[in-house]
Structures are given as C-alpha cells and as structure tokens.
Amino acid sequence: MRPVKITENVYSLRVNHFNRHLFDSLIPLPDGTSYNAYLVKGTEKTALLDSVDPEKKEVLFDYLKGVEKLDYIVAHHAEQDHSGSISFVLEKYPSAKVVTNPRCKEFLMSHLALPADKFIEVKDGEILSLGGKTLEFVYLPWVHWPETMGTYLREDKILFSCDFFGSHLAAGGLFSDERTVYAPMKRYYAEIMMPFRSNIKAHLEKLSKYEINVIAPSHGPVHKNVKFVQSIYSDWAVGEPKNKALVAYVSMHGSTYILVNRLVSALEEAGVNVEKLNLEQFDEGRVAMALVDAATVIVGTPTVLAGPHPKAVYGACLMNALRPKVKFISIIGSYGWGGKAVETLAGMLTNIKAEIIPPVLVKGLPKEEDLKKIDELASIIALRHKGLEL
Ligand code: FEO
C-alpha cells in the first residue's frame, strides 16, 4: 500500500476493513469501517497521527515502508481501534515518543502497558513544530471517551478530528461524497456521540474559530466540504427534533402488530412522519439513527412472563443509554392475562427527559374501542408535533 497525499508532505494511511461486521461486539457495520492514520513530514521531524486496529497492523507497516525515522506518534484517543498498534510501531521506531494529553497517557499506560517515559504530554492549544508543519493540539473531550483530542495542522488548515466527524465506511476514494457519506456519518454519530450532545455542541463552537480546509477523521473518508459536515452535526446535536415518530415494536401473535399498523396509519394521516422498526431483527444502528431527530418514540410490545418482550426491553435499554432529544414517549401493546409491561418499560427510560403520553395496553386481540384509543394517541402526538419541521 502507498500513502495517499492530501497536501504536500501530508498523507492518508487509511486501512479499510471491508468485511468487519460488528464493532465493540455490538454495533453492526453494514458498510465495513476504516482506521485512518496520517503521516505529516516536516523539514526536521516526522509524525504519525494515530495507528490502526491491531488486526490490520500489517497494512499500516506496509504504508510505513520507506519511512526511515519516526519522531512522534500523536495519540488522539486511547480506544484500541486507533491506539492498538502503537506498541508495534514503537518496536519498529524505538526512539519515537507518544504525544498526547495526560488523560490519554494514563489510558494508554493502562490499556497498552506503555511505560511513562515513552510519552510527551501536551496541553490544549499547545503546538509542536515539525519544521514548516505546526501541529496544534485541540482537546475534544467526551466525543465519546473523556480523553479525546484532535490536531490542527496550521500551515495546511487540516483538522485531524479523531472519531469526531467520522463514519464507519470502508471507501475507495480519499474524499467524501455528501450523497454517500451522510447516512454512515449519521449512524456513527447516533451510535457513539448522541449521548454527549452538549459536548459536541461545545466542540462545534470551539472549532468554529479555526479556518479549516479539510477535516481528516479517524474513520471513513476525508472531508473537503467542511461546511456541510459541520452543518449536519449542528442539526443533529443542536437542532430541534423533527416532526417524526419512531414506532419500534415487537409482536408475537399479531395483536401488537394490529395496534402498530393502526398507529402508523393514524399518525401519517395526521401529518406525522413515521419510521417503523421491527425489533425482532434488531439493528442497533437503525434504531440509533431514527432517534437522532425523532420527536416521539412509541414502543410496541406484547406481554411475556408478566413483563415487556425482551427485545422491547433491549430497545428501551438502548434508547435510554443513547439519551436522544426525544420530547414525547408512549407505549402500546397487548397482554393475555395481566402483567407490568408498561411500568417496567417506563422505569427503564428515566434518562430521557420526555413527556409520557398515556400508553394504550389492550387485552388480547384489539377491538374497535381499542383502535379508537390508538387514534386518540395519534391525535395527541400530532398536536404535540405542531410547529416542528419535517
Ligand atoms: Fe474509533 Fe472511539 O474509537
């Protein structure tokens, strides 16, 4: 593999992982992913920015053929998909120092067993000159871990943003295409950054003071359309939720499904956009993406062993962890002889500061009066959505 030039003496060492299907043993990767290291050569020093997942370290070493001396390895983030090959890089370049912030140093010493004397600590805003290439370190804590930072290359106006603005997308071209990168970026934001919206908002404000020509994240393609990338993030993290309801459901014998279908029709007739997701085949990323801009979430569940269906429980657990900007929540479902499906689910959604619209739980097969209650629920939701944009 040969490094791909971004600007003079600045290279992308992107390692695509096309056939990786799961991240963190949790998140489906429909488009694979990539681990992006970068190489910056100054007149005096050379720096590698991040490494790659250790499973793909041989590809990184292939890129580094011909790089005789490495002075610095900048570690933006201690998560192993970026830091996991640093020990191997240090074996090849034993005089190199790891440049990072104190928190990340602590994590790297813990996760990779690196000795303290291998590090150079840098502060927020500190600079490191490579000779004609000036690295400015920009702390970006809680993109999803507390130690994350980025690097701004002053001469080239490139922001190396780590996970921020990334996408799980194994792609051929160096630069992103707005049409194909939007959905993978949204999925990635939803899965790991949505719970930290207030930090993301602060980071967007901090970065607005920099003149940025290129954003080079640690996953997915590099962005030349900086305004596009910043504006979609602003919409997701700061913007109001949209006139959209997520109906996430599971049904065993069809009764809950009848309620779900009636609700979806009634909501659409009332002018509410609906995303309907069957939790039977769970795609965590689809659920997370839908939560980015939905104003309302309705969980549909039958009653199993006196409680909600386990897949509805998992859905509620995921929603609660992701802390979306949802404004309204409700629950619908059917039961055979009793149980506490509603109480259990409601008790699991405590992180979401939303109004609970009275649930509709019916006995057995829904009857006409049950369906009327569903229509009423749809009317209440439509009323609450008045004024929200599509
Ligand atoms: Fe891509 Fe948080 O590591």
Give me the pLDDT at residue 3, please: 94
Indicate the pLDDT class of residue 387, thresholds 50, 70 and 90: confident
DSSP state of 118: G
Mean pLDDT (the chain, rounded): 96
Residue 236 burial (10 A CB sphere; 0-12, 13-18, 19+): buried
Per-residue CA distances from 226 to 56, 208, 277 (Å): 29, 11, 32
Q: How far is the CA of 327 from the centre of ligand 1 (A)?
A: 29
Measured from the CB, is residue 76 less than 6 Å from ligand 1?
no
Check residue 223 and give its pLDDT: 98
**What was the pLDDT predicted at 131?**
98
pLDDT at 1 over 80: no
The percentage of residues in the chain with a pLDDT greater than 90, rounded to a whole number, is 94
What whole-number percentage of the chain has pLDDT above 70? Answer: 100
What pLDDT score does 259 carry? 98
pLDDT digit string, tens, across residues 44-65 = 999 999 999 999 999 999 999 9
Q: What is the pLDDT of residue 182?
A: 97
Nearest residue (by CA) to ligand 1, atom 1, is 163
Nearest C-alpha to atom 3 of ligand 1 is from which residue? 79
CATH 3.40.50.360 domain position(s) in the chain: 244-383
Whether the Cβ atoms of residue 316 and residue 362 lie closer than 8 Å to each other: no
15 CA → ligand 1 middle, Å: 14
Cα distances (angstroms) measured from residue 199 to each of 125, 137, 139, 143: 18, 17, 11, 7
**Which helix (DSSP H) or strand (DSSP E) does residue 133 occupy?**
none
Say yes or no: CB of residue 56 within 6 Å of ligand 1.
no
Q: Does residue 308 contact residue 301 with C-beta atoms inside 8 Å?
A: yes
pLDDT (0 to 100) of residue 339: 84
The pLDDT value given to residue 282: 86
Higher pLDDT, 77 or 306: 77
Asked whether the beta carbons of 14 and 36 are under 8 A apart, the reply is yes
CATH architecture of 4-237: 4-Layer Sandwich (3.60)
At 209 the pLDDT is 96
- Whether 390 shows a pLDDT value over 80: the answer reads no
Please state the pTM of the whole predicted model.
Answer: 0.95
Do the bridges between strand 242-249 and strand 273-278 make them parallel or antiparallel, or are there none, so unpaired?
Answer: parallel
Ligand 1 near 53 CB (within 6 A): no
Q: Which amino acid is at 143?
A: V
**Per-residue pLDDT tens over the stretch 242-279:** 999 999 999 999 999 999 999 999 999 999 999 999 99
Q: What angle do CA 67, 72, 78 make, to 5 degrees?
A: 115
CATH 3.60.15.10 segments of the chain: 4-237
Query: Using CA atoms, how far apart are residues 268 and 378, in angstroms rounded to an integer?
Result: 9
> 244-383: what CATH class?
alpha beta
24 CA from centroid of ligand 1 (Å): 10
> Tens digits of per-residue pLDDT, 80-133?
999 999 999 999 999 999 999 999 999 999 999 999 999 999 999 999 999 999
Atom of ligand 1 nearest to the CA of 219: 1
pLDDT tier at 389, thresholds 50, 70, 90: confident
Which pLDDT score, from 0 to 100, does residue 14 have? 97
